[in-house]
Structure 1
Amino acid sequence: MLHVKDVAVDLGGKTLLSGITFRVDRGELVGLVGPNGSGKSTLFRMLANLRAPSAGEITYDGKAAADLGARTLSKLVSYLEQDGTSHWPLNTRTLVELGRLPHRRMFHWLSEDDETAVARAMKLTDTTVFASKTVAQLSGGERMRIMLARAICAEAPLLLADEPIAALDPRHQLMVMSLLRRYASQQNAVAVVLHDLSMAARFCQKLILISGGTIIAQGRSDKVLSPRNIREAYRVEVVSGKKNDIPFYLPA
């Protein structure tokens, strides 16, 4: 679905990303991990077509991103931005409905399919109870779940989620990660930025470890999250293991 080859990003004479190559196939939940400032969000903004690469190529289902129009891309890629929220005084259901814009005809009401997609996304994200509230009335974690509902109801084959569980309580962290895994299993591709290495190892089929603007490891979580790789990327030691076959990684 998504293929990134030898991508680089330069800004103001500084190289933010270089030599980035990876792929995310349909059916995969791929986690992008790495320390703060390593280039993860910059990479996601580029994949969402909000920033052009300085070099390299990005393709979606074999089609070069540079050759695709904005409307076509909006149907292919849904992007949940880090700390994304709305500054408009909308109720939350109206905000979620905006996720259907790529599928709607201008000046037309929501179709039955649109209504179904919105209701389903809000149910999956446990946000139906907030439907009549405005975004300003919600907590940070509740707002993140509303923005995730908007991203999901777009029904794009590629979903990019930048730190979707950072502001969530443990129950909703598990709920969101399970939801992303299920979304990927429906022949979609999902890429997610995470700081919680335990969650990344538990839910993602593949991890990409990025540090200093380059990929230092990618593949199965047990290979990527080796003590050596974690030490190189994060400059910390970790205690790792499994409890009831669930992996965990804790700073030592």
Structure 2
Amino acid sequence: MQDEPPFGAPCWISYRFDTFKAVDFYKNLFGWWLEEQEGWGANTPGQTCYRGGSKVASLVPIIEFGDPQWCVYFYCYDLDQTIASVSQAGGVVNFIWSKPGTREGPHAYFSDPMGGQFACLQPESLDSLSSFGETHGLCWVDLSTPEVDRAVNFYTDAFNWSMQRMPSNSERYHATQTVGKWGTAVGARSIEFAGIAAAKSHTPWRPYFKVNSISEAVTKVSELGGTVRRMVGRAAELADPDGVPFGIADYW
């Protein structure tokens, strides 16, 4: 049986799009197949993305206003308690979707004290969380901010993360938790799933997807109209044709 992720671990991602250019980009890059979602009240339907038999993401249309962007959802056992925890830590609740039986489950959208956006999800089923660490599924999330200490303190308080300063970079921290079985992680061990790094400007939570070959994936990104921003060891920072940042890595 699929065990629950640790509290505060990234468990779902959604992408707000205004044209099908981005939908086609990710579909062709990762080989996802798409299933239309109902109930968006827009001419353009939302899409649930699958890789193999696992759900990996949702692509949803921008209904009224806003820019294309990825939204990272962190796992919670109880949405009401998490709303209280995030608020007490200094976060702001932007919107709550608590109706049961809809999409992935009850969830809420927040702003952190630095102005970054994220969400929390209390899933209806653990089946949608099984793709973490699988090829072409979510394997990491990363936040860049000029207020790294403030960010570390906030997410530690909100989600009880264990934050480790990286020996090779004193302005970079990784969040770790001990799990039994989650995604492709099997056996009780400490895993890393999120990073917070100092930067001159703020970049929202950026999802990273697992690939088998960085070089092949980077070539494909360029062919499909994306941009390679930076190569970082066994990972790469990229942007899709709309300029929305994301990343790839060949490990987890």
TM-score normalized by the length of structure 1: 0.28
Going by fraction, where is strand more abundant, 1 or 2?
A: 2
TM-score between both structures, scaled by the size of structure 2: 0.28
Structure with the larger RCO, 1 or 2 (CA within 8 Å, 6+ apart): 1
Greater CA radius of gyration, 1 or 2?
Answer: 1
